[in-house]
C-alpha cells in the first residue's frame, strides 16, 4: 500500500533528543526551544515566536490575546479544520462562517466585508494547502474596521505572499496578520509529531503572549533574571512543548530546504503528468493564486461530483494507493449547524464533496509516483481515447 503520508526523519532527531535528555533540561523553553524560535524569527521576519504543543494551542493563545469574549463575532472560512473555529468558540465567540472562492478553497476575501458587524472582532484567514489568501484585501478591511487578523498558517510554513498593493513586497505567510498559528503535526512539511507555533507580529501582544504561554505566570522573565520571583499574573495554560519535541523539530529545520525541494519536485511531477486529463475535464488541478507561492504542502484534485470522487478514491484503494478527502464544512457540522445563520456556502460544500488529496511526502519514490500517475491515467483511458 502506498500511504497517503509517511513522516520523514532526517536522521538527527534521536541524536538531538538524546542531547536534550543529556543536558537535564526536559521541560520547555530550553536551548532547542530557543534555537527553533530564533530560526523562524530570523528567516521569516516574525517579530516573536513561541513554540506550542500544537497549532490548536497556538490558535487558543491567539484567541486569548485578541481578548475574544462572549458575544464577539469571528469570521472564518467554513472549509477548514475544526481547531480554527474551536479556539474562538472556547472564548465564547459567535463564529461567522465565510464561503470559499470558486476556484480555490481559500476564504473569498470579496465576501468578508458583507459579514462584518459592530460585534466583529477578528478575521481568521486559512492559507489552504499553503497557498496565500488575499491578504491585501483582508488587512485593508481589518484597518478600516479596527479588527484583528489571525493567520491560520497551519499548512503554510515556508510559503509567501506577493503583495499587489506594495511594489516588490514579498512577505512570508504568518508575518502579515497581527498573529499567526503554525502546525508541526506529522502530516505537515516540518514535523515534530505533534507541535505548533504562535507567531506574534504586533508588539503590543508580545509580553502578554509569553505570560499566557507560561500558565499565566511571569516565569519566563524570572528565568531571564528580569524579576527576582515569579507569580500568577494572568490567565493562561501549559502551552509550551518539552525540549524533546523542540529537539526533534530542530533536526527537521536543519533540512528544511532539502525537504521543500523534494516536495516541490513531487508536486510538479503530479501537475505535469495530470494536466492533460484536467484539460479534458475529468477533474481540476490546484490553482495557484497569482499573489501566492507554493510550498508543496498538498496536491489535490477537484472532481465534478461526490460520486465521481468516491469512485476515484475506491479505484486507487483497490490498487493499493491511499488517497483521502479533506474537510467537511463546519457550518453544517453536528456541533454548529443549529448555530449557523442559515446562509448557503456552496463553494465550501463543493470542496467538501469533490476534493481529494493524493499521497505527497518526502520519501515518495519515483516508482510510487509512476504507479499513482499511471493508475489515474488508467481510470480515464477509455474516455480519453474517444
> For 284-339, how does the pLDDT look when each residue is reduced to its tens digit (9 = 90+)?
999 999 899 999 999 999 999 999 999 999 999 999 999 999 999 999 999 999 99
283 conformational bin, left if phi > 0, alpha if psi -120 to 50, beta if neither: beta
Least confident window among 212-226, 240-254, 261-275: 212-226
Residue 279 lies in domain: 256-384
Cα gap 58→61, rounded to integer Å: 5
Residue that finishes a domain, picked among 214, 235, 253: 253
Flag whether 3 is in a domain: no
Residues 172 and 107 in one domain: yes
Look up the CATH number of the domain holding residue 292: 3.90.1150.10
Residues 121 and 202 in one domain: yes
Report pLDDT digits (tens) over 329-376: 999 999 999 999 999 999 999 999 999 999 999 999 999 999 999 999
Residue 39 sits at φ, ψ, to 5 deg, of: -60, -50
For 5, other C-beta atoms within 10 Å of its C-beta total 17
Flag whether 8 is in a domain: no
Residues 41 and 132 in one domain: yes
Least confident window among 41-45, 121-125, 177-181, 228-232: 228-232
Look up the CATH number of the domain holding residue 163: 3.40.640.10
Cα gap 212→217, rounded to integer Å: 7
Whether the predicted pLDDT of 384 surpasses 70: no
Number of domains comprising the chain? 2
Which run of H or E residues covers position 357?
strand 355-357
Whether the predicted pLDDT of 57 surpasses 80: yes
- What is the Cα 344 distance to its own chain's centre? 25
Residues 186 and 321 in one domain: no
Flag whether 49 is in a domain: yes
Whether the predicted pLDDT of 79 surpasses 60: yes
Flag whether 38 is in a domain: yes
User: Which pLDDT score, from 0 to 100, does residue 385 have?
Assistant: 47
User: Which pLDDT score, from 0 to 100, does residue 169 have?
Assistant: 82
User: Which pLDDT score, from 0 to 100, does residue 167 have?
Assistant: 59
For 75, other C-beta atoms within 10 Å of its C-beta total 26
**227 confidence band (pLDDT: 50, 70, 90):** confident
Whether the predicted pLDDT of 16 surpasses 90: yes
User: Which pLDDT score, from 0 to 100, does residue 229 have?
Assistant: 80
Residues 67 and 185 in one domain: yes
- Over range 58-62, report the average pLDDT: 98
Residues 368 and 238 in one domain: no
Residue that finishes a domain, picked among 253, 284, 313: 253
- Over range 116-122, report the average pLDDT: 98
Residues 248 and 270 in one domain: no
Flag whether 73 is in a domain: yes
- Over range 179-193, report the average pLDDT: 98
Residue 182 C-alpha cell reads as: 503554525
Residues 193 and 271 in one domain: no
User: Which pLDDT score, from 0 to 100, does residue 386 have?
Assistant: 42
Which run of H or E residues covers position 276?
helix 256-279
Flag whether 2 is in a domain: no
Residues 291 and 349 in one domain: yes
Residues 207 and 261 in one domain: no
First to last CA, the chain: 32
Report yes or no: 69 and 92 within 8 Å, Cβ to Cβ. yes
167 against 173, higher pLDDT: 173
CA distances from residue 364 to 3, 161, 255, 337, 361 in whole angstroms, order as listed: 9, 28, 17, 39, 6
User: Which pLDDT score, from 0 to 100, does residue 383 have?
Assistant: 52
Q: pTM of this prediction?
A: 0.96
Residue 92 sits at φ, ψ, to 5 deg, of: 95, 10
Q: Which residues fall within 8 angstroms of residue 3, CB to CB, at 6 or more apart?
A: 322, 359, 361
Residue that finishes a domain, picked among 213, 237, 253: 253
Q: Tell me what percent of the residues of the chain surpass a pLDDT of 70.
A: 98
Cα gap 333→331, rounded to integer Å: 6
Which residue has 509567501 as its cell numbers? 160
Residues 280 and 232 in one domain: no
Residues 236 and 299 in one domain: no
Flag whether 248 is in a domain: yes
**145 confidence band (pLDDT: 50, 70, 90):** very high
User: Which pLDDT score, from 0 to 100, does residue 105 have?
Assistant: 98
Flag whether 65 is in a domain: yes
Amino acid at each position: 500500500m502506498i500511504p497517503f503520508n509517511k513522516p520523514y526523519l532526517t536522521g538527527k532527531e534521536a541524536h538531538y533528543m538524546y542531547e536534550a535528555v543529556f543536558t537535564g533540561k526536559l521541560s520547555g523553553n530550553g536551548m532547542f526551544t530557543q534555537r527553533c524560535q530564533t530560526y523562524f524569527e530570523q528567516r521569516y521576519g516574525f517579530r516573536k515566536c513561541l513554540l506550542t504543543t500544537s497549532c490548536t494551542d497556538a490558535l487558543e493563545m491567539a484567541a486569548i490575546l485578541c481578548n475574544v469574549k462572549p458575544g464577539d463575532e469571528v469570521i472564518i472560512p467554513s472549509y477548514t479544520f475544526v481547531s480554527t473555529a474551536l479556539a474562538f468558540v472556547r472564548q465564547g465567540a459567535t463564529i461567522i462562517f465565510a464561503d470559499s472562492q470558486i476556484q480555490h478553497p481559500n476564504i473569498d476575501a470579496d465576501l468578508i466585508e458583507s459579514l462584518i458587524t459592530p460585534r466583529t472582532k477578528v478575521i481568521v484567514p486559512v492559507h489552504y494547502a499553503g497557498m496565500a489568501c488575499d491578504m491585501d484585501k483582508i488587512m485593508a478591511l481589518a484597518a478600516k474596521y479596527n479588527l484583528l487578523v489571525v493567520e491560520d498558517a497551519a499548512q503554510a510554513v515556508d510559503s509567501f505572499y506577493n503583495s499587489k498593493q506594495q511594489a516588490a513586497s514579498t512577505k512570508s505567510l504568518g508575518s502579515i496578520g497581527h498573529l499567526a498559528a503554525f502546525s508541526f503535526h506529522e502530516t505537515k512539511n516540518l514535523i515534530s509529531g505533534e507541535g505548533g507555533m504562535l507567531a506574534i507580529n504586533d508588539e503590543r501582544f508580545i509580553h502578554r503572549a509569553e505570560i499566557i504561554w507560561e500558565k499565566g505566570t511571569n516565569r519566563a522573565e524570572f528565568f531571564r533574571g528580569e524579576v527576582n520571583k515569579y507569580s500568577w499574573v494572568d490567565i493562561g495554560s501549559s502551552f509550551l512543548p518539552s525540549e524533546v519535541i523542540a529537539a526533534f523539530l530542530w533536526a527537521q529545520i536543519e533540512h528544511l530546504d532539502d525537504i521543500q525541494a523534494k516536495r516541490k519536485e513531487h508536486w510538479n511531477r503530479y501537475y505535469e503528468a495530470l494536466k492533460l486529463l484536467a484539460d479534458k475535464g475529468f477533474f481540476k488541478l490546484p490553482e495557484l493564486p497569482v499573489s501566492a507561492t507554493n510550498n508543496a504542502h498538498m496536491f489535490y484534485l477537484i472532481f465534478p461530483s461526490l460520486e465521481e470522487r468516491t469512485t476515484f478514491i475506491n479505484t486507487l484503494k483497490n490498487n493499493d494507493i491511499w488517497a483521502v478527502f479533506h474537510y467537511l464544512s463546519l457550518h453544517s457540522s453536528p456541533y454548529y449547524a443549529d448555530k449557523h445563520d442559515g446562509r448557503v456556502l456552496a463553494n465550501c460544500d463543493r470542496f467538501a464533496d469533490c476534493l481529494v488529496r493524493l499521497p505527497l511526502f518526502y520519501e515518495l519514490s519515483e516508482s510510487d509516483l509512476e504507479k499513482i500517475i499511471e493508475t489515474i491515467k488508467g481510470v480515464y483511458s477509455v474516455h480519453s481515447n474517444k
